[in-house]
Amino acid sequence: MDFNLAPDIEAYRIAVRAFVAEHIIPVESDRSAYDEHDNIGLDRLAELRAKVKAAGLWAPQMPKELGGLGFDQVGMAPAYEEMNRSIFGPVCFNCAAPDDGNMYILNRIGTPDQKQRWLQPIVDGSVRSAFVMTEPSPGSGSDPSMMLTRAEPVGNARWRVNGLKWFITGAEEATHFILMAKTSDDSRKGLTAFMFHKDQPGWRIVRRIPIMGPEEHGGHCEIEFENLEIDDRDRLMEVGDGLKLTQIRLGTARLTHCMRWLGLAKRSMEIAIEYAERREGFGVRLSDRETIQTMLGDLAYKIEIGRLLTMKAAWKLAAGDFARKEVSMAKIHVADTLHEAVDTAIQINGARGYSKDTPLEWIYRYARQARLVDGASEVHKMVLARFYQQERNDFWTWGV
Ligand SMILES: Cc1cc2nc3c(=O)[nH]c(=O)nc-3n(C[C@H](O)[C@H](O)[C@H](O)COP(=O)(O)OP(=O)(O)OC[C@H]3O[C@@H](n4cnc5c(N)ncnc54)[C@H](O)[C@@H]3O)c2cc1C
């Protein structure tokens, strides 16, 4: 068993770490750099993205022939962790959701024509994208088989889409959309995936949903389809392969959340230790108190468990496995660890932790979505229980 990183992955990780410290943390510390939704303003983002490209650090997860660096999930894990030392990090490297997952799936399953038209502009950073799946009740949420949005074939190799979606991240800024719609009542093969462009008629943003946390660029939107027409050449994979596409996309997309959240959890600890080492009370430095040390030790080992779960899942995904158990375990654990890390860091910082003088309150509000997005923790536990019911003690194995 070898836990070492390959030299090129380690070199990239170190370069990302230095870039975040030198260029991104100063922007994060400057409140004037924030937009009205608590994200980095688009002008400052454009400057940083240009610097990332000039430094040769852009899009590590994409193949070299498309303009990326060609790392697989094992290479992405340590790099994404470094990027999200800053709340603004991943988007500067073109490694933020949902573009990241959308690029991944288009690269995996797109035809050469689809890659050229739909994928390449996202890789280049000239457009943003969205993934359109979830519907308000009684439509599909945790259970995709409840989807109500329909795509029906019309003449001339075209499809017509009607329905309602919500919580579509980035919809107000996106140009390229991946849409999941129902094409038959078959429980396994009833969904199909399509691409559409923001300028196509037949859809509209009903509202940008107000949320508790800071927002991605383009917000989280409710969107309605009324006779959106899509050409059949913009169908992804075969008719009925929508669920399969979602599973391929979500395996890696969920895990990249874990990679990034580990970075935020580590940053929370960093802010906690920095304060604990300089703050004294009752004649004792906070960091010399056993209660505080127990808090820090607790977080340190939970973050390491998260890193191990994430790296094992990354390694399986890179080998072509769906890694469903591994991704679910990582997602549950890292989401909980992120909550605990930022909550503890706020506690150690006292009133300062509750202020906007550090990014802790930002991370705290953001963290609440981690147990919901890309599968609520309860759904991942249900998946694990199903595996356990089938496999019993063989649930835990090593490959040979
Ligand atoms: C910030 C944010 C961004 C998002 N971005 C996108 C996006 O870009 N595109 C997109 O399509 N969707 C997006 N979503 C939607 C997200 O994927 C769904 O919220 C998620 O799949 C859960 O679906 P739901 O909200 O309908 O919850 P429901 O299915 O209504 O479930 C509600 C709750 O019930 C419980 N529950 C559900 N099933 C089970 C079970 N089997 N066992 C036990 N308990 C269960 C869980 O506690 C769950 O939280 C986003 C959501 C958020 C919060």
- Binding site membership of 133 for ligand 1 (Cβ less than 6 Å): yes
* CA angle 265–253–261, rounded 5-degree value: 5
Our CA angle for 360, 53, 197, nearest 5°, is 85
376 lines ligand 1 (CB under 6 A): yes
Alpha helices by DSSP H, listed for the chain, are 7-19, 25-28, 42-54, 73-83, 89-92, 99-109, 112-114, 120-124, 242-278, 290-318, 324-349, 351-354, 360-367, 377-391
pTM value? Answer: 0.98
Q: Alpha carbon of 217 to those of 127, 128, 207, 363: distances in Å?
A: 12, 9, 15, 16
Using the 8-state DSSP alphabet, how is residue 202 labeled?
A: S
For residue 93 and ligand 1, the question of a CB distance below 6 A is answered with no
Counting Cβ atoms within 10 Å, is residue 338 exposed (0-12), middle (13-18) or buried (19+)? buried
Q: Which residue has the tokens 């288009």?
A: 106
How far apart are the CA of 181 and the centre of ligand 1, in A? 17
Helix (H) or strand (E) holding 166: strand 158-169
Pair 178, 131: CB distance under 8 Å: yes
Ligand 1 centre and the CA of 238: distance in Å? 26
Q: Is the CB of 5 under 6 A from ligand 1?
A: no
Asked if the peptide bond before residue 144 counts as cis, ω within 30 degrees of 0, the response is no
Check if 384 has its Cβ closer than 6 Å to any atom of ligand 1.
no
Give the pLDDT of residue 399: 87
Please tell me the predicted confidence (pLDDT) of residue 63.
98
- For ligand 1, what atom is nearest to the CA of residue 135? 26
Round to whole Å and give the CA distance between 105 and 180. 13
Say yes or no: CB of residue 169 within 6 Å of ligand 1: yes
State the distance from the centre of ligand 1 to the C-alpha of 134, rounded, in angstroms.
8
* Predicted pLDDT at 255: 98
Q: What is the pLDDT of residue 1?
A: 84
**Ligand 1: does its nearest atom lie under 6 Å from the Cβ of 359?**
no
Residue 354 is encoded by which pair of tokens? 């509750």
Cβ of 372 less than 6 Å from ligand 1? yes
C-beta 246 within 6 A of ligand 1: no
Q: What is the pLDDT of residues 220-277, one digit of tens each?
A: 999 999 999 999 999 999 999 999 999 999 999 999 999 999 999 999 999 999 999 9
Q: Distance between CA 68 and CA 110 in Å, rounded? A: 17
Of the candidates 88, 121, 14, 26, the residue with the CA atom closest to the CA atom of residue 57: 14
Q: What tokens were used for 216?
A: 């991605």
Residue length of the chain? 400
Q: Residue 331: CB within 6 Å of ligand 1? A: no
Q: 322 alpha carbon to ligand 1 midpoint, in Å?
A: 21
Q: Which atom of ligand 1 is nearest to the CA of 130?
A: 8
Nearest atom in ligand 1 to the alpha carbon of residue 133 is 11
Give the distance (Å) from ligand 1 centre to CA of residue 379.
Answer: 9
The crossing angle, in degrees rounded to 10, of helices 242-278 and 324-349 is 30
Report the percent of the chain where pLDDT is more than 90: 99
Q: How far apart are CA 319 and CA 311, in angstroms?
A: 12
Residues in the chain where the model's pLDDT stays below 70 = none
- 131, 143, 165, 167, best to mutate for ligand 1 pocket (most atoms within 8 Å of CB): 167
Residue 224 host element (H or E):
strand 220-231
Whole-angstrom CA distances from 21 to 57, 92, 93, 206, 359 are 14, 13, 14, 39, 15
Domains along the chain? 7-110 (1.10.540.10), 129-236 (2.40.110.10), 243-395 (1.20.140.10)
Please indicate whether residue 141, judged by its CB atom, sits closer than 6 Å to ligand 1: yes
Cβ atoms within 10 Å of 211's Cβ, excluding its own: 16
> 63 C-alpha vs ligand 1 centroid, how far in Å?
31
Q: At a CB cut-off of 8 Å and minimum separation 6, what does 213 contact?
A: 38, 365, 366, 367, 368, 369
Q: Which long-range contacts (CB under 8 A, 24 or more apart) does 211-214 make?
A: 211/369, 212/365, 212/368, 213/38, 213/365, 213/366, 213/367, 213/368, 213/369, 214/37, 214/38, 214/39, 214/87, 214/362, 214/365, 214/366
Choose one of 148, 205, 379, 384 to mutate for the ligand 1 pocket test, by most ligand atoms within 8 angstroms of C-beta.
Answer: 379
Does any ligand 1 atom lie closer than 6 A to the CB of residue 164?
A: no
133 by Cβ neighbours in 10 Å (0-12 / 13-18 / 19+) ranks as: buried
